[in-house]
Amino acid sequence: MPNLFVATGIFHPEPGGPATYLHEILPALQSRGWDVRLQTYGTGETDSYPYPVLRVPRQTYPLRLLNYARAARASLKWADVVYTHTIDLPLIGKSAPRVIKIVGDQAWERCIRKGWVSPAEDIDTFQHKSYNGLVAQQKRSRSNQVQRMDSVIVPSDYLKQMVQGWGIPPERIHVVYNALPAMQDDRLSQVEARQLHGLGYGPLLLAAGRLEPWKGIQHIIAALKHVPDVQLLIAGDGPMREQWQAMAQPLGARVQFLGRLRRSVLYEYMAAADYFMLYSGYEGLPHSVLESLRVGTPVIASQKGGNVEVVQHGVNGLLVPYVDVKALTATIETAFVTGQRAALAQNAHIDPARFSFDNMVSQTDAILKQFA
């Protein structure tokens, strides 16, 4: 039985695609013969999983790095393969072959959070633009770390092209689409979901995710100022929440911030909504869009990144140029034309040929076992 050490910076029950992905795929990899250990930052339960989970508290820098490195020593020696999901993890010393899953550009995200580049700086522009100082250092460090990996998994063709730009040979990059495990067919109807949460029967949009600058919630709020009677629910938390709440105040009860929700509750709100909104400036392969389609709710998404590999315009949703508030406003108006939602909802499901959970597990298992 080969040993798989999973090193990450985020894990269940924290929100986000990477945490959800690991929580869902690791039991499936165990069933394929892997002995799994996981290490992450954070606090919480460690004994409610079918594999050992070690959580390292998020202390001040550099103490958290030192503690993470110390905690990982034994697992690095034990592992036949290291599967990592975060760059900048202090996995020090010689170890087994390393495979990394890249779901975005952490250098770009960090530079925006630190204020080193403008929040309006497009991720695609960031890839090719020349910078000095700390920004150049972040880009160089990210590329160097990924270049040292034995193999790279990405969830979209879009990300494969991006990672190639970091100096990674294409033969070392493998596209494995994200997918979701089978769901019991006891989902709520839209009427039942709205009754459960005391929602009315007017036009309803739902956005969800970590409230970061690139998620584009501010543009949805701006568009709603020109589209009367449409309500927006926002699930999630993050650094932009207070600013976006202030921006939404003139719209009153038409915009409501729900905070972080349990996944099962989020699915209920997805079922209640007319459309799931993902008007972000960047997505690798959006887990939330797959979740929305799985419950039968069509999507309005930006025409950016991996969104276009999931959302088919006019089939299971609507794609909108980014950033274009006028186009977004017009799309929301079109979305509520009589018959439009019903037509899109008929095709609001996951393409089983591209987004099969079994295929995702089999492809990931095969890549990892090349190095076991």
CB atoms within 10 A of CB 92: 14
Phi-psi region of 229 (alpha: psi -120 to 50; beta: other; left: phi over 0): left
Structural domains of the chain sorted by starting position, each given as residue range(s) with its CATH number in brackets: 3-179+356-369 (3.40.50.2000), 190-345 (3.40.50.2000)
| pLDDT at residue number 14 | 87
Burial of 81 (0-12, 13-18, 19+ CB in 10 A): buried
3-state secondary structure of 267: helix
Q: Taking the CA of residue 100 as centre, how many other CA atoms within 13 Å lie in the half-sphere pointing to its CB?
A: 24
| pLDDT at residue number 161 | 98
| pLDDT at residue number 364 | 99
3-state secondary structure of 12: coil
Task: Locate all alpha helices (DSSP H) within the chain, ordered by sequence.
Answer: 17-31, 63-78, 106-113, 123-128, 133-147, 157-164, 190-196, 217-224, 241-248, 263-272, 287-294, 325-335, 340-345, 357-369
In the block, residue with structure tokens 């006891």: 186
3-state secondary structure of 168: coil
Per-residue pLDDT tens over the stretch 111-132: 999 999 998 899 999 999 999 9
Secondary element (H or E) of residue 101: strand 98-101
DSSP class of residue 34? -
Which residues in the chain land under pLDDT 50? none
**Cα(139)–Cα(130) distance, rounded to whole angstroms?**
10
| pLDDT at residue number 15 | 80
Longest dimension (CA), the chain: 62
**Cα(211)–Cα(21) distance, rounded to whole angstroms?**
19
Q: Which amino acid is at 40?
A: T
pTM over cut 0.95: no
- Report the chain's C-alpha Rg in angstroms: 21
CB atoms within 10 A of CB 140: 13
Q: Output the CA torsion 181→54→159→88 (10° steps).
A: 180
**Cα(363)–Cα(369) distance, rounded to whole angstroms?**
10
Angle between helices 287-294 and 17-31 (to 10 degrees): 70
| pLDDT at residue number 353 | 83
Exposure string over 10-29, b if 16+ CB within 10 A, otherwise e: bbbebbbbbbbbbbbbbebb
| pLDDT at residue number 172 | 98
Per-residue pLDDT tens over the stretch 307-350: 999 999 999 999 999 999 999 999 999 999 999 999 999 999 98
| pLDDT at residue number 207 | 99
| pLDDT at residue number 352 | 84
